[in-house]
Amino acid sequence: MAAAMIAPGSAIGILGGGQLGRMLALAAAQLGFDVHIFTDEPDSPASRVAARTFVGNYLDRAALADFARRVQVVTTEFENVPAETAQALIDAGARVAPSPRALAVAQDRFDEKSYFQSAGIATPPFKAIGSQEDLDAAIAEIGAPAILKTRRLGYDGRGQIRIDSADDARGAYAKLGAPGILEGFCAFEREVSIVAARGADGAIAFYDLNENEHAGGILSRTTLPAQVSASVTVGAQNAARRVLEAFDYVGVLTIEFFVMRDGTLIANEMAPRVHNSGHWTIEGALTSQFEQHIRAVAGWPLGPTTRIADIEMLNLIGEDADAWPQLAADPSARLHLYGKRDTRAGRKMGHVTKLIL
């Protein structure tokens, strides 16, 4: 049975205080909701646009139970929510969306790729790595170049070692310092992602495919329309539909793919949340990915995903954001800054969306 619609004026709980939580909070406010943030970070970007913030440890069951009692639903802005956190919220009677099972799978690169394979979604060749011996054996099997990644807690290019030769492999497991996964390198032609949503009623909506460029492992640029054939789009939609339905998923979910020269789609990873490559939807789609996620977790019908212009979205990483006076003066740039107190190299400080009307 579909979850009941949560009425405007109710409180929506968000785990995490970063920019995704901030943009979710802004979208929730537009629909008349109060937002409560639970975060372990004082003075977070999201907390400054929320009705209430609970600063606490994600493993503090009592604090989580208190949070759960004050909100009508709990969602998250990040996938690395500890399993214990989700369980504590559920034990306290909270409605949680998306499901902890989807979060758990997305937290572990090996589980994630194993899941993709079981669902018939192509992935690069991969092997779980628990020792240097595992790594040596996996390289012998998969070949180089390959990428050794931590199974857990990697993001934006962190926790990754590229292996181009047996030399690179030497001592690499110790350097990684955690259980890993070796992934065969895909000589892709382009990278795309699909932002999809599933409502509490089971309805599914897709945004147009994003074409993505990364620099140093961090998304730098997203453009639409993606330069891909219709069959690539259909393939991405089918993969997203399979994942959304398998997890009885409620909310926005993103899958990143490599597109090979022959048009084959290879799933890279999934994010059980709103995604950087979907930021353009704030101005460029009738319903933003943030509003869409709030609609879904609140049990509301999904909104239309129609794209209203061609798009170029540019991330502002680290000192890129220092150019705010120039960006503010650029009539083609819709500027978003996340309110982060400190500029650090590799840190996502904001983004700019250009609508090509």
Is there a cis peptide before residue 45, judged by omega within 30 degrees of 0? Answer: no
Q: Which of 76, 176, 338, 348 binds its own copies (CB under 8 A)?
A: 338
Site for its own copies in 68-87 (CB under 8 A): none
Compute φ and ψ for 210, nearest 5 degrees.
Answer: -95, 135
CB-nearer residue toward its own copies: 52 or 242: 52
335 sits near its own copies (criterion: CB under 8 A): yes
| Between 97 and 135, CB nearer to its own copies | 97
Q: Which is nearer to its own copies, 8 or 263 (CB)?
A: 8
Q: Would you say 153 or 308 has its CB closer to its own copies?
A: 308
Asked if 301 is part of the footprint of its own copies (rule: CB under 8 A), the reply reads: yes
> Which is closer to its own copies, CB of 120 or CB of 325?
325
154 contact partners, CB below 8 Å, separation of at least 6:
109, 160
The residue count for the chain = 357
Among 3, 51, 128, 260, binds its own copies (CB under 8 A): 51
Q: Which is nearer to its own copies, 43 or 213 (CB)?
A: 43
Smallest separation (angstroms) from its own copies to the CB of 306: 8
Judge contact between 61 and 67, C-beta under 8 A: no
Binding mask 256-295 for its own copies (x = CB under 8 A): ------------------------------xx-------x
Per rule CB under 8 A, is residue 32 in the interface with its own copies? Answer: yes
Q: Helices marked H in 45-188 — which ranges? A: 61-70, 83-91, 100-107, 109-118, 132-142, 166-169, 172-176
Binding residue for its own copies (CB under 8 A) from 256, 300, 317, 320? 300
Residues 6+ apart with CB under 8 A from 93: 68, 69
Going 172 to 173 to 175 to 181, the CA torsion angle's sign is positive
N-terminal to C-terminal alpha carbon distance within the chain: 41
Please list every residue from 108 through 147 that binds its own copies, using CB under 8 A. Answer: none
Of 14, 15, 50, 176, which one interacts with its own copies (CB under 8 A)? 50
Peptide bond into 100 cis (omega under 30): no
Helix (H), strand (E) at residue 316: strand 310-317
Smallest gap from Cβ 148 to its own copies, in A, equals 37
Q: What is the DSSP letter of 150?
A: E
- d(CA 135, CA 155) in angstroms, rounded, equals 21
Q: Which of 245, 261, 243 is nearest to 121 (CA)?
A: 243
Using CB under 8 A, pick the residue from 120, 262, 325, 345 that binds its own copies: 325
> With CB under 8 A, what is the number of residues at the site for its own copies?
45
Q: Binder to its own copies among 93, 120, 177, 331 (CB under 8 A)?
A: 331
Q: What is the 3-state secondary structure (H, E, C) of 253-299?
A: EEEEEEECCCCCEEEEEEECCCCHHHCCHHHHECCCHHHHHHHHHCC
Answer for which of 2, 8, 140, 166 binds its own copies (CB under 8 A) is: 8
* Contact between 334 and its own copies per CB under 8 A: yes
Give the 3-state secondary structure of residue 28: helix
Of positions 34, 108, 269, 320, contacts its own copies by CB under 8 A: 34
Q: Which residues bind its own copies (CB under 8 A)?
A: 5, 7-9, 22, 25-26, 29-35, 47-51, 286-287, 295, 300-301, 303-304, 306, 308-309, 321, 324-325, 328-329, 331, 334-339, 341, 350, 355, 357
